[in-house]
Amino acid sequence: MEHDQHNKKKVILVDDDREFIAMFSMGLAEQYDIRAFSSGQECLELLMTRKFIPDIFFLDVHLEWGHGFDLSKKIKQMPAFQKIPVVFISGDSESYEEAFNLGAFTFLPKPFDLASLTGIIEEAGQTDIVVDES
């Protein structure tokens, strides 16, 4: 069954492993509207246009150009993205505590299966996001 692109949940992935990006994108493209980037700068450039507002971010902790935690901080400085859940992914479980200190929705250790991703995306979509308008 083909889904209408406009009704799909929107997902952003940032990971410097191009094979992982391909697996992630191909595995989830039928169910979700995926934007995948190998650098945080590319992701930030898209976000600044506000043409794509994701329902969830998946950020690799260790990136070639820097750190996924730093990217998350930059994203959260933009009011339009402050309440959007962030999932940190890493082969390094030592990053777990810092991820949650930064407000991660969850931490996903590599390797993992696509069913785990689907479950997280659906769970994040059911979370009530309260916008503080004061």
The reply to whether 130 falls in a domain is no
Q: Has residue 110 been placed in a domain?
A: yes
What's 76's DSSP letter?
H
Residue 21's CATH number: 3.40.50.2300
| CA–CA separation, 45 and 62 (whole Å) | 20
Per-residue pLDDT of the chain (134 residues), as tens digits, is 344 556 899 999 999 999 999 999 998 999 999 999 999 999 999 999 999 999 999 999 998 878 899 999 999 999 999 999 999 999 887 888 889 989 999 999 888 888 888 999 999 877 554 433 33
Q: What is the bridge-based pairing of β-strands 66-67 and 56-60? A: unpaired
User: Which residue's entry shows tokens 């995306």?
Assistant: 121
C-alpha 59/C-alpha 94 separation (Å) is 16
Q: Which long-range contacts (CB under 8 A, 24 or more apart) does 127-132 make?
A: 127/85, 129/83, 129/84, 130/83, 131/83
Terminal-residue alpha carbon distance, the chain: 43
- Find the domain containing 15 and state its range: 5-123
> Is residue 104 assigned to a domain?
yes
pTM of the model: 0.87
Residue 131 resides in a domain: no
What amino acid is encoded at 83 in this protein? Answer: K
